[in-house]
Amino acid sequence: MTNISIEAPEVVRGQPYPGAPDNWKRFFTFSTDHKVIGIQYIVTSFVFYLIGGLFAMIMRGELITPEADLVDRTVYNALFTMHGSVMLFFWTFPVLVGLGNYLVPLMIGARDMAFPRLNAVSFWMIPIAGILMMSSFLVPGGPSQSGWWAYPPVSLQNPTGNLINGQVLWILSVAISGVSSIMGAVNFVTTICRMRAPGMTWFKTPAFVWAVLAAQLIQLYGLPALTGGAVMLLLDLTIGTSFFNPEGGGNPILYQHFFWFYSHPAVYVMVLPAFGTFSEVLPVHARKPLFGYRVIAASSLIITVISSAVWVHHMFASATPSWMRMFFMVTTMLVAIPSGVKVFGWVATVWGGKIRFTTPMLFALGGISNWLFAGITGIFLGSAPIDLHVHNTYFVVGHFHYVLYGAIVMAIYAAIYHWFPKMTGRMYYEGLGKLHFVLTYIGTALIFLPMHPLGLMGMPRRVASYDPEFAYWNVVASIGGFLLGLSTLPFILNMVSSWIRGEKVGNNPWRAYGLEWLTSSPPTVENFEETPIVISGPYGYGRHQPLVEHAPNPGLTDFPESFTKQPSS
Amino acid sequence: MTVYAVLVTFASLWMAKQAYSWFPPEAAAEAKLLDDLFSLFTGLGTFIYLGVIGPFIYSLIFHRAEKYDLSDGPDIEGNTWLEIIWTVTPLILVVTLSFVSYRTYEKMSIRGPMELVHLHMPQMVEPAYAEPFDSTPQQEIQEAVETSPIEEIDVVAKQWAWIFHYPNQDVTSTELHLPVDRRVRFKLHSEDVLHGFYVPAFRLSQYVVPHEDIDFELTPVKIGTYRLRDSMYSGTYFAANQTDVVVQSASDYQQWLADAAAQTPTPAFNPANYEYSQVFEPGSGNTKDKVAVRGWATIPPAPPPVVNYAPKHEPESPPV
């Protein structure tokens, strides 16, 4: 068979609707194309990532000496509050939703999400909510200073007396973000359940899609609790109800239940798509099927179920009775089993493979090694007696950031590099990508590893100043923090320059095995000219069996010959 | 493979031993129990980490594709027995670790928020220190309970100060003094927001919840001065909400109580009040000169506590 690359006609390339601009301007429109929305999510959230990262670097600058001498305590408190809030609500969640938005319809052979307009509304709520949160820097009392978890009664204290204050803006912003996520979850679940291509049974569905489904199910059951808690907190703050205010007979611990009922599973909302990314990237760059695919896929849903009953491990040191400490200790540790199954599956996938150290592969491998470490320290934290010592210390901060940055952000980078040729039709610069990886991996270790000994020594989190005994590890961590800040520069340079003038590649430069690689790069408006009919499972490396009944985009032939079943003559 | 397994075992044992050195001094019987548990977790964690990362790195080094090799690797989908083994093994492991953690927690007998127990579980309502013991820390807890009555101390946390009240002598202090080798029961109380009663040398923390009294027990076993920190973020001067914990011999402790009882209550030095007065009092600008970026308004700290005993000037470990 002769490989002839036929470019898709320009007129249909990512065009959101007839008459819409077919250039960068379409990313500033109310597009209903899931691919445009996906990139809108990714780019918008990356801007917030830079803002949140800037806050973190100022904090590390403050913590490079024991004294509170760089910024005032109120500024520091606002910075860690906004850092956590921005990084979670406006970077990690949205960027993963963006990746899901871009990839899920392509991976399941759909032409768009189930509810395209709802999808666009979900996205546009994010910049609105983000700007609202940022605007709190301009109100008289400044931004919220009660931490990203906004525990009352601290979050109910209002030193300015103004109705419009940083805490109110914070709650409104989080509530809007929550509503956006709920709408997104409805869209994802419907799309995945109802719009898979003919022949794509559950066990022919890519692991990434399983992971997104599992994550979005958590959004559906968990987010209403957080949003409800936020509304009650807003009422306490503004009109003087006493749901959580002890002065009026309220119970601040109740808020913690509302908050953690969602906010612990929320970690899995973020980490599951990261797991899905590892499961997609490893087989391609190791040229092997995903080992134990069915178990890995099913373990995502098992995590969804178990994670609904672990939230109290954040409250072991709270006003939590013994029976509750013991029950949630066991359930928390049980999450290690499906998580461990995945790690073993990934190790077995690369074992005996034909590994290529491309940038996405490096980020995936780095992310898995970090996740392994984070998972083990997570078991430590699941043990109630150990938690009673390290709770609210830097040990937790180190563990948490190993999950969020070491594993999830690494996975996000892996995903962006891996699917960059699909999104743009061009290849990134490998040298810059590898430089980015090296800086990121070293920076991650330098900043987050020292937090573990700091926590064991007893340094509380959220402090603007500390005893001199903690100075050494803090200096190391700050150097790592600045290195992480530096690491984003080659990434930005790479993405911008590659998108503009990177080498044009075919539709499937990785010779990857998945429906998204069966269409042009970037994909046409409706993804597939003909609905693909799936006839085999994903990750068919080494099997030489066709994935679909016939080419869904006739004329596009620069993928492996065995990709489509040839019509019998 | 066997050689690697042996090396991993030795490395795990070494790490388990090293884990004891990562902590502050063991100043309470509970700290010893916790350190033993942490050491066990560290050993097993190291074993798991190295056991997984070793084969992972091995394949990354030795299973790389040749430069121009574009072929696929072997078509291996899975292995049922292998998958069963690596599901059942962690299951056994986490159930075991949960059980050991539960036993350790039971041995600590730290009580906690008993009034919030909603289920009728009598065996968990009372501390377990009356049960038979099988290790040194438990013996220390047991002896502390049996040899003398439990020392009771009321603890008040507020924005941003700690006040300790010794009800039997009606003594108040901003520095916590404790008798060595004697069981102590704290009654934790907050006047405003959530605080965290946390002494790293004791390895224990407990939230202090407004309008609730929470019982909390421990047994100091080592004479010395340690640090009590607020572990629960409590607002602007949270980082400065610290004080010293002095563990003394029984005689020194009684002497200190007697001396403190003889003193007239006076306002104690308070770091939060001091900083607040420097920043917000008109005409002063000391702190402003020290901090590069000034911030926003804060709620004023509570008035300095009036107590019998307080360090006369700045505390021995100066507030930072």
Asked if B212 reaches chain A (Cβ–Cβ under 8 Å), the answer is yes
Asked whether the CA dihedral B258, B264, B269, B270 is positive or negative, the reply is positive
What lies within 8 Å, CB to CB, of A316 at 6+ separation is A325, A328, A329, A384, A387, A388, A391
Asked if A137 reaches chain B (Cβ–Cβ under 8 Å), the answer is no
Please give the residue of chain B at the shortest CA–CA distance from A150: B233
Using a CB-CB distance cutoff of 8 angstroms, which residues of chain B are in contact with residue A376?
45, 48-49
ipTM of the complex: 0.91
Of B242 and A553, which is predicted with more confidence? B242
Q: What is the mean pLDDT of chain A?
A: 92
Of A261-265, A269-273, B127-131, minimum mean pLDDT range? B127-131
Classify B177 as helix, strand or coil. strand
User: Would you state the pLDDT for residue A562?
Assistant: 58
Residue A534 φ/ψ, nearest 5 degrees: -80, 130
AA identity, residue A189: V
Q: Where are the alpha helices (DSSP H) in A335-429?
A: 336-350, 359-382, 384-390, 394-401, 410-424
AA identity, residue A247: E
User: Would you state the pLDDT for residue B113?
Assistant: 65
Please report, rounded to a whole number, the percentage of residues in chain B having pLDDT higher than 70.
86
Task: Give CA separation, A283 vs A211, A309, A440, A514, A540, in Å.
Answer: 16, 32, 23, 11, 9
What lies within 8 Å, CB to CB, of A559 at 6+ separation is A507, A508, A511, A517, A518
User: Would you state the pLDDT for residue A558?
Assistant: 63
User: Would you state the pLDDT for residue B319?
Assistant: 47
* pLDDT tens per residue across span B46-79: 999 999 999 999 999 999 998 888 888 888 888 9
Buried b (16+ CB within 10 A) or exposed e, B176-213: bbbbbbbbbbbebbbebbbbbbbbbbbbbbbbbbbebb
Q: For residues B173 and B310, is the Cβ–Cβ distance under 8 A?
A: yes
Contact pairs from chain A to chain B, CB under 8 Å: 320
Segment 51-70 of chain B within 8 Å of chain A by CB = 52-53, 55-56, 59-60, 63-65, 69-70
Using a CB-CB distance cutoff of 8 angstroms, which residues of chain A are in contact with residue B297?
74, 140-142, 159-160
Residue B190 φ/ψ, nearest 5 degrees: -115, 140
Residue contact A291–B211, C-beta within 8 A: no
**pTM as predicted:** 0.93
User: Would you state the pLDDT for residue A3?
Assistant: 45
User: Would you state the pLDDT for residue A567?
Assistant: 60
Task: Please report the DSSP string for B47-106 in residue order.
Answer: HHHHHHHHHHHHHHHHSBPPTT-----------HHHHHHHHHHHHHHHHHHHHHHHHHHH
Q: How far apart are CA B36 and CA B19, in angstroms?
A: 9
Residue B317 has pLDDT above 60, yes or no: no
* pLDDT tens per residue across span A379-435: 999 999 999 999 999 999 999 999 999 999 999 999 999 999 999 999 999 999 999
User: Would you state the pLDDT for residue B219?
Assistant: 94
CA-based Rg of chain B, rounded to a whole angstrom?
A: 26
The gap from C-alpha A357 to its chain's centroid, in whole angstroms, comes to: 23
Q: What is the mean pLDDT of chain B?
A: 86
Of B99 and A23, which is predicted with more confidence? B99
Asked if B120 reaches chain A (Cβ–Cβ under 8 Å), the answer is no
Q: How far apart are CA B264 and CA A495, in angstroms?
A: 70
Residue A121 has pLDDT above 90, yes or no: yes
Residue B239 has pLDDT above 80, yes or no: yes
Question: β-pairing, B242-248 with B224-230?
Answer: antiparallel
Asked if A344 reaches chain B (Cβ–Cβ under 8 Å), the answer is yes
User: Would you state the pLDDT for residue A10?
Assistant: 46
Residue contact A380–B45, C-beta within 8 A: yes
Question: How far off is chain B from A73, nearest CA to CA, in Å?
Answer: 6
| Residue located via tokens 């108040």 | B172
What confidence tier does B313 reach under pLDDT thresholds 50, 70, 90? low
A294, A376, A462 ranked by CB distance to B49: nearest: A376
* pLDDT tens per residue across span A59-80: 999 999 999 889 999 999 999 9
Q: Which helix (H) or strand (E) holds A169?
A: helix A166-194
Phi-psi label, residue A329: left if phi above 0, alpha if psi -120 to 50, beta otherwise: alpha
Of B125-129, B193-197, B239-243, minimum mean pLDDT range? B125-129
Task: Average the pLDDT over B10-30 and give the result.
Answer: 96
* pLDDT tens per residue across span A499-544: 999 999 988 999 999 999 999 999 988 899 889 999 999 998 988 8
Bridge partner list, B171: B166
Question: How far off is chain A from B314, nearest CA to CA, in Å?
Answer: 15
- Six token digits for residue A439: 């800086």
3-state secondary structure A205-252: CCHHHHHHHHHHHHHHHHHHHHHHHHHHHHHHHHCCCCCCCHHHCCCH
Task: Give CA separation, A286 vs A210, A297, A352, B71, in Å.
Answer: 21, 19, 9, 10
User: Would you state the pLDDT for residue B267?
Assistant: 92
User: Would you state the pLDDT for residue A17?
Assistant: 54
Of A556 and B284, which is predicted with more confidence? A556
Q: For residues A68 and A465, is the Cβ–Cβ distance under 8 A?
A: yes
- Six token digits for residue A136: 């709190």
Q: Which helix (H) or strand (E) holds B189?
A: strand B184-190
Using a CB-CB distance cutoff of 8 angstroms, which residues of chain A are in contact with residue B229?
458, 460
Q: How far apart are CA B126 and CA B106, in angstroms?
A: 10
Using a CB-CB distance cutoff of 8 angstroms, which residues of chain A are in contact with residue B239?
68, 73, 460, 462-466
Question: Comparing C-alpha atoms, which of A66, A140, A115, A55 is closest to residue A90?
Answer: A55
Residue contact A292–B124, C-beta within 8 A: no
Task: Average the pLDDT over B287-291 and give the result.
Answer: 57
Asked if A248 reaches chain B (Cβ–Cβ under 8 Å), the answer is no
Residue contact A348–B70, C-beta within 8 A: no
Q: How far apart are CA A348 and CA A292, in angstroms?
A: 9
Question: How far off is chain B from A559, nearest CA to CA, in Å?
Answer: 13
Buried b (16+ CB within 10 A) or exposed e, A68-105: bbbbbbbbbbbbbbbbbbbbbbbbbbbbbbbbbbbbbb
What lies within 8 Å, CB to CB, of A320 at 6+ separation is A312, B112, B113, B116
Q: For residues A144 and A167, is the Cβ–Cβ distance under 8 A?
A: yes
- Six token digits for residue A195: 């719009």
Angle at which helix A207-238 crosses helix A93-108, to 10 degrees, equals: 150
Asked if B280 reaches chain A (Cβ–Cβ under 8 Å), the answer is no
Q: How far apart are CA A288 and CA A540, in angstroms?
A: 8
Q: How far apart are CA A355 and CA B58, in angstroms?
A: 12
Classify B184 as helix, strand or coil. strand
Using a CB-CB distance cutoff of 8 angstroms, which residues of chain B are in contact with residue A286?
63, 73
Residue A19 has pLDDT above 60, yes or no: no
Q: How far apart are CA A291 and CA A342, in angstroms?
A: 9
Q: What single-letter DSSP state applies at residue B110?
A: -
Segment 360-419 of chain A within 8 Å of chain B by CB = 365, 368-369, 372-373, 376-377, 379-380, 383-386, 388-389, 391-393
* pLDDT tens per residue across span B187-236: 999 999 999 999 999 999 999 999 889 999 999 999 999 999 999 999 99
User: Would you state the pLDDT for residue A506?
Assistant: 86
User: Would you state the pLDDT for residue A11?
Assistant: 44
Segment 507-546 of chain A within 8 Å of chain B by CB = 511, 541-543
* pLDDT tens per residue across span A148-204: 999 999 999 998 888 999 999 999 999 999 999 999 999 999 999 999 999 999 999
- Six token digits for residue A402: 């190993």
Q: For residues A490 and A422, is the Cβ–Cβ distance under 8 A?
A: no
User: Would you state the pLDDT for residue A7?
Assistant: 47
What confidence tier does A469 reach under pLDDT thresholds 50, 70, 90? very high
User: Would you state the pLDDT for residue A336?
Assistant: 92
Please report, rounded to a whole number, the percentage of residues in chain A having pLDDT higher than 90.
82
Asked if A329 reaches chain B (Cβ–Cβ under 8 Å), the answer is yes
A317, A334, A456 ranked by CB distance to B207: nearest: A317
Residue contact B59–A320, C-beta within 8 A: no
Task: Average the pLDDT over A93-111 and give the result.
Answer: 96
User: Would you state the pLDDT for residue B115?
Assistant: 47
Classify A445 as helix, strand or coil. helix
Task: Average the pLDDT over A331-342 and give the result.
Answer: 93
* pLDDT tens per residue across span B142-163: 777 777 888 999 999 999 999 9
